[in-house]
Chain A
Amino acid sequence: MTTRIQKEARKESLLINMGPSHPAMHGTIRIMLELDGERVLNSEVEVGYLHRGFEKTCEHKTYFNLLPYTDRMNYVSPLINNLGYVMTMEKMLGIEAPEKAQYIRVIMSELSRISDHLTCLAAMAMECGAFTVFLYKIKAREFIWDVIEETTGARMTTSYIRIGGVRADFHPNYEEVLNKAIAETRKVLKDVHGLLDKNKIFLNRTRDIAVITPEAAINYGWTGPCLRSSGVYFDVRKTFPYLVYDQLDFEVPLGERGDNFDRYMVRMKEMEQSLRIIEQAMKKIPKSAAKTVAKGMEAAEAIKASRQKRVEKKIILSPNLEGSEKDKYQDILVKSKKYIVPPKEDTYTSIEGLINHFQFFMREHGIRPPKGEVYFAVEGGNGELGYYIVSDGTEKPYRLHVRAPCFHVMAALEELIQGHYVADVIPTFGSINMIGGEMDR
C-alpha cells in the first residue's frame, strides 16, 4: 500500500506529510510533499477523510428528507447548497417560487456567499500571519450570521430554502439587522483592503505564487472566483441566470494573473458586489400581501375549538414557527399542496389539513417528480454547484450526484504548488477555499 509519491520519489529527497491533522489543512486533507530542501518537487494530495456517503444516503431518503444533508456539504454557505438542490427539484417538477421568495433566496444566498468568502480569506490571511484580518473578518461574519439566524433560526444548518419557496418569511425587523450587517461588512472590507492590499509581507507570499493560466483553469474545470481570478469571465448568475439575478445590477470582478493575490482580490471585490445585490434586492422585494393581525387565538384553544367547528380566527403559533404562518404562505411558497408542508394551523384544526400533512410525509407519498434526469447549477461560494438527479418516479431519488466546485480546484493543487516553497503551500491552499464536506461528500 505504498502511495504514488513513495514509489516515484527520488532517493535523496525528503518526503513529508502535511496533514491530515495540521492546523493549516483545515478540512482534513493530506498532502504528501517530496522536498528538496524547502522546495516542493512533487506532491500528492489525498482526499476522502470527510467522506460520509452523502450520495448513497440521499438515495435512501425522500426528496424532502434529504434537504438537511445538503446543509452539511459546504458548511460555510449552507443556504446556497439548499438552493442548488431545491432549484434542481423545481426544474424537475416544473414549479417556480413566488416573487418574494425569490428575492429572499437571492438575499440569503448572497449573504452566504459573503460569509463563505469572509471565512476563506480570514483563514488565508491568518495562515499568512495576519491575525488581525482574521478577527475582523470573523467579526463581520458574525453580523451576517445574525441575519441568517434571525431569518432561518439556525446559524449553519439552516435547511431554510425549501422546495417551492422558503421556510419562513423575513423577520419584521430584518431590515435593521441586515443594514447593520451590510454597514459592518463594508467597514471590515475597507479595513482589510487597507491592511493587506499593499502589505509587503502579504504580497510577497501571494503575488505570482501558484499561478494558473486561463487555459489550464478551464481544462481543470475550475469555476467561480478561482476561475475568474485567472481572467475568464464565467459566472453562473450571469451566464445562466436563475432567480431574479437578471433584474439586478452587478459586476463580475476578474483577475489578471491567476495567482494567490488575484484569488484574494476577486473574492474581496465579489463581496462588494454581493452587498450591492443585497441592497438592490432589499429595495425591490415585494411587500407582503398578508395583513398583520395583532391578536389571535392561542394554539391550544384553537385545537379545542376546532373539535366543534372550523376555526376562522388567526392562530398564534409557537415562536419557532415565526414567519411561516398560514397567511404568509402565499408570499413564500407555491400554491400547489403537493410540494409543500401544509400550514400548521390547518394541520391541527382541520381534517383536510391533516390529510395534506400525511400525504406529504407518509411513506410512499410526498413529492414524486416525473421520471427522468436533470442537471441544474447555481453559483456557489466556490463556483458552479451543480446537482444531477435521476428520478425513477418514486419518492426517493434514484441517483443524486453533486458537482462540487472545490473538487475540481483541488485536483489542480499538485500542479499549483510544484516548484514553490513549503511555506507557499499554505496561502495557496487557503486561497482555493477547499471545503471538506463539499469535496468528499
Chain B
Amino acid sequence: MEKKKILKELEQQFAEKIRGTSSDFGDDTLIIDRESLLEVVQFLKQKPYEYSMLLDLTCVDHLGQEPRFEMVYHFLSLSAKHRLRIKVPLSEKNLSIETLTSIWKNANWLEREVYDMFGVRFYGHPDLRRLFMYDGFEGFPLRKDYPLRKRQPRIRLRK
C-alpha cells in the first residue's frame, strides 16, 4: 500500500506532466515527458522521497511503434526501501534527452552506453562517446533493425 501512495502523491504533485502510472508485477512505474524529466528526478531526490541512487538507466527500442524509443530509469530510495521506475518515451525524429550527469555521476557511463547501443543523444553530457564499441563502429547494435550477425567494415589501426 505504501508504494501506491508514492505514485498517488506524485500524480498530485505533477498532475499534467505525468502520462501514466502502473504497478505491473509490483514495480511502480511513472511515465513522464522528456521535458519534465529533470524537474521530476530532482524533486524525487529531495526529501521526503530521497531517491538518492540512480540504479540503472537503459533504453528499449519499440520498432514500428510511435514513439519508437523509451528511456527507462530505475531509482532507489535507501530510506523508503523502494525502487521506482521512470519511463520517458522518445520519438525517432528527435532522439535526444537531457543528461543526468549533473545529478548522478554514474549517469556519465550509463548514458554513454545508451548512446553507444541506441544512438540516443544526451544534452549537456560532458563526454558523449561510445563506451563498449570502438570509434568508427557503424550503426547502433541494440536497435531492433540492426541484424544479429551484421559485419562491420574494417577500420584503420589506431595511432
A386 CB–B CB distance under 8 Å: yes
Q: In the complex, identify which listed stretch (A32-40, A127-135, A284-292, A401-409) lies at the interface while the others stay far away.
A: A401-409
Selected from A4, A48, A218, A440, the residue in CB contact (under 8 A) with B53 is A218
A240 to B143, CA, bound (A): 33
Which of A1, A410, A441 has the most CB atoms of chain B within a 10 A radius of its CB? A1
Which residues from 122 to 150 on chain B have a C-beta closer than 8 Å to any C-beta of chain A?
Answer: 127, 129-136, 141-142, 146, 148
Which chain B residues numbered 56 to 112 have a C-beta less than 8 Å away from chain A? Answer: 56, 58, 60-61, 72, 74, 78, 81, 83, 85, 104-106, 108-110
- B104 partner residues in chain A, CB cutoff 8 A: 219-221
| Cβ contact within 8 Å between A384 and B55 | yes
A221-B53, A373-B24 are known contacts. Are A48 and B131 too (CB-CB below 8 A)? Answer: yes
Interface residue tally for chain B (C-beta within 8 Å)? 40
Q: Which of A52-60, A184-192, A294-302 contacts B (4 or more CB under 8 A)?
A: A52-60
Q: Is A337 an interface residue (CB 8 A)?
A: no
Provide the bound-state CA to CA distance between A84 and B56, in Å: 15
The secondary-structure label for the interface of chain B is: loop
Query: Who on chain B is nearest to A48 by CB?
Result: B132
Please state if B141 and A56 are interface contacts (CB–CB under 8 Å). Answer: yes
Bound-state CA distance A127–B108 (Å) is: 29
Q: Is the CB of B105 within 8 A of A234?
A: no
Q: Could you say which residues of chain A place their CB within 8 Å of the CB of B27?
A: 373-375
> Are B127 and A4 touching (Cβ within 8 A)?
yes
A441 and chain B: residue at smallest CB distance: B132
**Residues of the A chain whose Cβ atoms lie less than 8 Å from the Cβ of B154:** none
Min Cβ gap B143→A in Å is 10
A65 to chain B, nearest CB (A): 14
- Give complex CA distance A116, B24 in Å: 34
Interface residues of A in 231-254 (CB under 8 A from B): 232, 234, 239-240
Chain B residues near A193: list those with CB within 8 A.
none
Instruction: From B24, B25, B146, B158, give the contact of A1 (CB < 8 A).
Output: B158
Asked if A221 and B132 sit within 8 Å, CB to CB, the answer is no
User: A47 and B131: CB pair below 8 A?
Assistant: yes
Residues of B within 8 A of A56 (CB): 141-142, 146, 148
- Residue of B56, B81, B109, B129 near A401 (CB, 8 A) is B56
Would you give the shortest CB distance from A316 to chain B, in whole angstroms?
42
* Interface pair B105/A220, CB less than 8 Å apart: yes
Question: Is the CB of A92 closer than 8 A to any CB of chain B?
Answer: yes
Contact of B25 with A374 in the complex, beta carbons under 8 Å: yes
Report A-chain residues with C-beta under 8 Å of the C-beta of B129.
4
Q: Decide: B132 and A412 in contact? CB cutoff 8 A.
A: no
**Residue on B with the closest CB to A88?**
B25
B54 interface residue (CB < 8 Å to A): yes
Cβ of A399 within 8 Å of any chain B Cβ, yes or no, is yes
For the complex, give the distance between the alpha carbons of A388 and B54 in Å.
Answer: 14
Contact between A375 and B74 (Cβ–Cβ < 8 Å)?
yes
| Residue contact A232 to B78, C-beta cutoff 8 Å | yes
Inter-chain contact A388/B25, CB cutoff 8 Å = no
Check if A372 sits within 8 Å of B25, measured CB to CB. yes
If A4-B127, A407-B109 touch, whether A375 touches B83 (CB-CB below 8 Å) is yes
B21 at the interface (CB under 8 A from A): no
CB distance from A232 to the nearest CB of B (A): 7
Complex CA gap A398/B70 in Å reads: 13
A-B contact pairs, 9 of them (CB 8 A): A47-B131, A48-B130, A48-B131, A221-B104, A373-B72, A384-B55, A388-B58, A388-B72, A390-B60
Interface set of B (CB-CB < 8 Å, partner A)? 24-27, 52-56, 58, 60-61, 72, 74, 78, 81, 83, 85, 104-106, 108-110, 117, 127, 129-136, 141-142, 146, 148, 158-159
Top 3 nearest A-B pairs (CB, nearest first) are A48-B132, A221-B106, A51-B132
Given A55-B142, A219-B106, A412-B106; 17 other pairs, CB 8 A cutoff = A1-B135, A47-B131, A47-B132, A48-B134, A51-B132, A91-B25, A219-B52, A220-B105, A221-B104, A234-B78, A375-B27, A386-B74, A388-B58, A390-B60, A401-B58, A408-B106, A410-B109
